[in-house]
Structure 1
């Protein structure tokens, strides 16, 4: 549905959906090196999120994708706090976007259209961002971008890369060099051949191979991988490298770092676009993957004046390349079931080279796309549907996941039948339903669907859920593979099913008697669990941590809640209305909840689980004497005497609702240094605003 046509409730549900998709996409791309959606799809979803937020600013979520960079660092690596944040770039997709970028920069700086303003233009390397810290000329630390503020310590691995010098001379006392780790096409093909011959993991593309190689726990594996590094930026400095972007890059080259030879100075949009096309023409012959061109204001003084938005600099933009096209035969359509139950159609193709990459699979999006319809029900491809045997046009958007774009009906074989999308899950035969307003059909099997089981089990033991010491994602995968656990209830019967449970477990690689004993004790400790944690741990679609805790506070006890869900199963009546009245619960989330509890197999799985648990009633905040009970509070700016999490927890304990955005429903804004648009909006709406000291004085000992 178009953003302009969304109601406020629809917009809220859509923002929740987009936050979920984009969060998972960030984790898959940045933390797991296994992208689930293409760059182009990611960019489109993020643009839609921004458009909805612009139209409904009061609905902006605390976990808005527009405020996020990358993904949290993996638990297997030590964390590194970046002295200077590693931000992402805004995107441009056509010539007009570049003209508008130049106009925005000039307007911000107060420069007329005729004033000279130089930019650098350089290829956008498709690899893994890395920051290298040198002190007194010696490499002391290397870190991935992570979420922009905290990355992963990969120093030992970075030392194995030939393009990264261990020591440099003539550099500032402190120098953080930033750039991209990548793998050449030739090295990528050779690596995949070796991996295939030895039965190892092969990689989908050079970016995944480079990221996976750098993030190995054993530096010896990284050393055996042919990684390279281009330097193109910097972080913390004890003294400037130069006065200009180009001068600083040249300085890095003189210090011994590899810099891209295609970096050029451009005088305005015309020269920027000309260099973009020059690089685009050379793209197939570069020998490494790029997905666009990055433009940066050349004068570093002007960069400083332009500054940053929340996640992107105002002085730079990435001009993405368009998709690449080819024609081939569609041999079959397979249905894959994702970890959220989404049924995704996949095109199996006669292999074809698209932009230098051999493509044999492509996404078909959803059932409407196969039928020749877009998300609004309008015809696409002139209404042509997609059938097995068709001659189809394939394009690579963002160089990650190929897609089928068009069909040549003149080559359609006689007898080709329209594709019938399944209404039942091909993995577990549960009903596959399509919610109103959703383009995707999803399996309702939940925990009993093998395609969803492992990911749901990982979620079940995650930190905000059961958080069982010694039972993380790796152990869950192992136990599921060994058929020790298939659903959450199995975790709590492990010890009984194995007698003492000790012998079988301690004989496994990585386990001993002590670790086995510790695991069973940790499992027993979690038999007593809070209502909110249990609900969140079930991984019901749309039901996040905050919503789970809010629902728990409203219903109090688990037994009463499950009875209420049974009574609300028909989505009418007083219990349905009560559910909808819970703060933050809309129709989309409510339908997801009652559907989960109404599915016989999933309900049986939940009941088996709770038979092993002592579910604690939700604690109700003692709001007697609280000056903020029942009020909506927003925190903005920098809090200096407490963390944001501490402030939120204290406010909620006093019976307040903490929101991430200012609206007419906001009662109080607590503004620290750096408060911006939220403080301005609060003033416009006449909302009471206090500083951190005022907040502490207000709540006192309450």
Structure 2
């Protein structure tokens, strides 16, 4: 019993240390596989000894608690909104007002994350409450959902009697794009932008859903900061970081408003480089004594202002609306646009999601429209410009037959989506293969959509299982497939056989079953054979598997086509068990950058190797970079590494490292 209790304590420390290394220090120390193994072991022990569960246990981040309703909570201090500045003149006027009180002033400029304010309360070092902003005076208690966010500490690094923290909850662009893709494939309404997605996710009644959506948090304010010996905003940010919070590192300090304006203009042009959405910057007087002297208006502080970026909207023309058939059979209308540059790239297509969206916005073929990128990621038609209509615009109608296979198209009751239900539809097969080889599934590098289409057109494959029958002579005639690329692709296909059960379940593209569900099912059943024989009732006994997913699984595995597909995979030697091998963590805690043209690996393959051996595959070089792997034609990253004195190695030297562990 004592040994188990000590193990629980050790596991909790390992997991919380791993969270801090990942979220706060940006230096992952253990792999995802190791983290999951530790978490499973801790969950098992806490299930065995429920009286050992504590509020700050890492298991409390997993989610699964269902709230009946959200209770109202009154904030200790009102969460006030900021006045907005839209031009340099607005900032200069703000500066003039401040300098009437203090001729000398220092400003802190922070990125304005496009999310939602979340107020946190800690007592004796433990998190007690998380609340939404609400109307500024009263918010909603969302503590169960806040605890699922890995970037929010459950226990402070240094205990204080009471601490009230404010910050921004947000959804990273990658999470937003993945969530919308999953929802579109399932025929569900998509979110308009990351902010809406984050808000909807934080107010879920089921915290498991919040946990799956991978939200993050930047802390930026401490109430009663002076009582903690903090005298300005920069000291607050440093204090928050030391307490285990994630603080946005992009803040700057200026003493001249013209420098502030220059920085704002720079960030307006660089806003798309961040992995999260920003819609401006916040300018604050640094010193708290001066903030107090400047005071407040009825609704806003006089010592801070928000500089809002101009909205990036461009005008273009919808030249046509075409249909894309996804792997689940959903027909998605897509606008073919007159090519236009927006948010740093040229856009010629934009999804219109579904017929309801087209009707609601009254979109017609030939319309002039305003376009932007939702979350700086997804091209979206905002609205039509009706005054530019010439009378030749055409209404769009969903087809009665699938444009790919001519099978009937139907709309299921209660869904906005129209579907092709033919499992032999070539579009469904193509999209299914693209999904099968994707990174979270079988991770076969070198098999992009264009190559998949060429293999299908040449009759070399009919489904994803046929990939395992390809040989060198099959691949070399493929357009732009050189000898080295063919060898790399065949190696990637061979390597994918050992991915294991969890990625394989996800790769099958079963409706209502995502990557996380694949891990849950693999842990519960251990082999494909056991999963195949599970009933709806047995499946629902598994945590996080509801009736909808259970029905989808049983129906999918009952199909003759599924049986044939799995038989081909077995004959090819694809591993269908949950066993995985753990690589030695020779790169633990190390940040490694790959640059230049590689000969031995595709870029994603070598980055997966780095992460598999415990390292972090970073995108930029800094003093903290352990080493750089440089291929041919390495450019600015190589020069920066040489300038900083960072070790640079070749692919051959990297291979020696992983074959001869340090």
* Class of the TM-score when normalised by the shorter of the 2 chains: 0.3 to 0.5
**TM-score, normalised via structure 2 length:** 0.41
- Of structures 1 and 2, the one scoring higher in RCO (CA 8 A, sep 6+) is 2
**TM-score, normalised via structure 1 length:** 0.39
